[in-house]
Amino acid sequence: MTSTDTYDYIIVGAGSAGCAVARRLSDDPQLRVLLLEAGPPANDFWVRTPAGMAKLFKSERYNWQFHTEPVPTLRNRKLYWPRGKALGGSSAINGMVYVRGDRRDFDHWAQLGNPGWSWNEVLPYFKRSECNTRGAGPFHGVEGPLAVSDPAVRHPSLCDFITSACRTGLPLVDDFNAGEHEGAGLLQANIRRGVRHSAYGAFLAPIRQRPNLMVRTNIHVRRVLMRGREATGVEVLHEGQVRSFAAAREVIVCAGALSSPQLLMLSGIGNGEVLQRHGISTVLHAPGVGQNLQDHFSVRVQFRTTRESSYNHDLIGWRKYWQGARYLVTRGGYLAMPSSSAAAFVRSGPGVDYPDLEISFRPMTFTYRDSGQVDVDGYDAVGASVYRVRPASRGEVALRSPDPMQAPAFHPNYLGTAEDVEATLSGLRRLRAIVATEPMASRVLGELVPGPGVQTDEQWIDYMEREGHCAFHPAGTCKMGSDPLAVVDARLRVLGVERLRVVDASIMPVVTSGNTNAPTIMIGEKGADMIRADRLPARANAQALT
């Protein structure tokens, strides 16, 4: 192994948080910043095109293509877990939906013993990060690097879904990102003039030529190097060669909720008994590493509709070429749409403090093929997904092997509590009630999936167990706090270790009530400010020593 350059900060992972951290730290020209990404650059046509997310769902080039372990509560099915492997991380392949979460999510974080993370304290970082087409205001900014925009096409079915939801008793929501999102409305997305705006495209592409910022791709970090309980650098694998980089100030792990705990464990930080079984020397016994895994479990429902109620027919046959031409010329049309453009946030019952269910709606449907291809269905239909956004179930990311090139074992424990089952059933009934209400009722000709034959709780549970899947929002595996399972403190420093932080969705003590990309970027923004404020002195004669 050879040693090479020294940097002030080494950031592991160029995902949604890592790109924000690298941008803000490199704003100081006196700091040398190294950003390491295991995946390649991501700037081809299908990455830039919002509808290209279907092409990326099982992309070998840009996707880790993870799978869970068999899930006992889902009939031992192994679920597919796509995760981004490219500059921009999952923001380069996701559905682009921009939802911050409810203000009470963040107030709860603070109440759990994490000062500085209440809604009022994180709101400035949401605002700082964005350039919102709705303009500046109490909840939005226009000077940030990240584009946030309204749907390119307001399909009539989107508007009718919202109207029907409101007629079932929900309020109309003009802005899901103003702190309280109970009700129905349009969703915003990270799309800029018809083009996906990933975290890389927003935060790093415009400043990539900074002389104090080094971005390296296709380089796999094997472990954080330690001297006692102080992080000194990282060991990497690049083009078959093992080498190291030294960090004079800090190592910042931004590898995501699935990979950050693995990297800590490979570095000797985790449950000592487990590490010993894998032949890894324990630097710090930290039993919470990999615990507290949370994700939103999703159940899809599809409805056959009248022709004008769905744009499936616009994306098949000769019409898809017309849509392609339209997109190339105008950057508009259906190829410029995110995964969902309307939603309803509802409570599963009267005793729930604030919405714990999201019903996302789209005026089209698609089918995942075993080959990995995603095909728009050849009939007129609309689809919706129901998922509990504050699950009670907790899972685990476990070390499978001491080999850094092997994925860890994912145990999501979906529907692991009766509470999650009951809440999801409530959401599915609410979806049917919305669709049965005018004006949606006049658009829907019948339910396709799971179909009208599914009526009882037992039938719904059977369908959930057979067909439910992840919503691609894992979080919580290096949680912030001060309890025995906490991994980082409120300043995102790994407890018991010097010069090492985790800054990504893994630090969420409780997953936010909605899509997780926006709060992950906020975590990157706030984390960078804390790193700069703490500004540890550079280690003298810094070397990446074990």
Residues forming the active site = 473
Using CB atoms within 10 Å of the CB of residue 529, give its burial: 0 to 12 exposed, 13 to 18 middle, 19+ buried.
middle
Q: How many angstroms separate the Cα of 505 from the Cα of each of 65, 351, 533?
A: 19, 28, 21
State yes or no: 95 annotated in a binding site. yes
DSSP classification of residue 408: -
Backbone angles phi, psi at 158, to 5 degrees: -60, -50
CA distances from 409 to 64, 68, 268 (A): 14, 7, 17
Is 96 known as a binding-site position? yes
DSSP string, 277-321: HTTPPPSEE-TTTT-SBB--EEEEEEEEE-GGG--GGGGSTTHHH
- What one-letter code names the amino acid at 304? R
**97 annotated to bind ligand:** yes
- Helix ranges restricted to H, 375-446: 418-435, 440-443
In order, the DSSP letters of 44-71 are SHHHHSGGGHHHHTT-TTTB--EEPPPB
Please list, in sequence order, all residues whose beta carbon lies within 8 angstroms of the beta carbon of residue 358, skipping any fewer than 6 positions away.
296, 343, 344, 345, 386, 387, 389, 513, 514
Residue 432 burial (CB count, 10 A): 17
Those residues whose C-beta lies under 8 Å from the C-beta of residue 508, and which sit 6 or more positions away, are: 109, 257, 294, 475, 476, 479, 480, 516, 519, 523
Q: Was 94 annotated as part of a binding site?
A: yes
Other C-beta atoms lying within 10 Å of the C-beta of residue 108: 20
Residue 282 contacts residue 275 (beta carbons within 8 Å): yes
Tokens matching residue 256 = 């995501």
Residues 162 and 179: their CA atoms lie apart, in Å, by 19
Q: Cβ(80)–Cβ(69) under 8 Å?
A: no
Q: Which residue has the tokens 């991501």?
A: 42
User: Which residues make up each annotated binding site for FAD?
Assistant: 94-97, 221
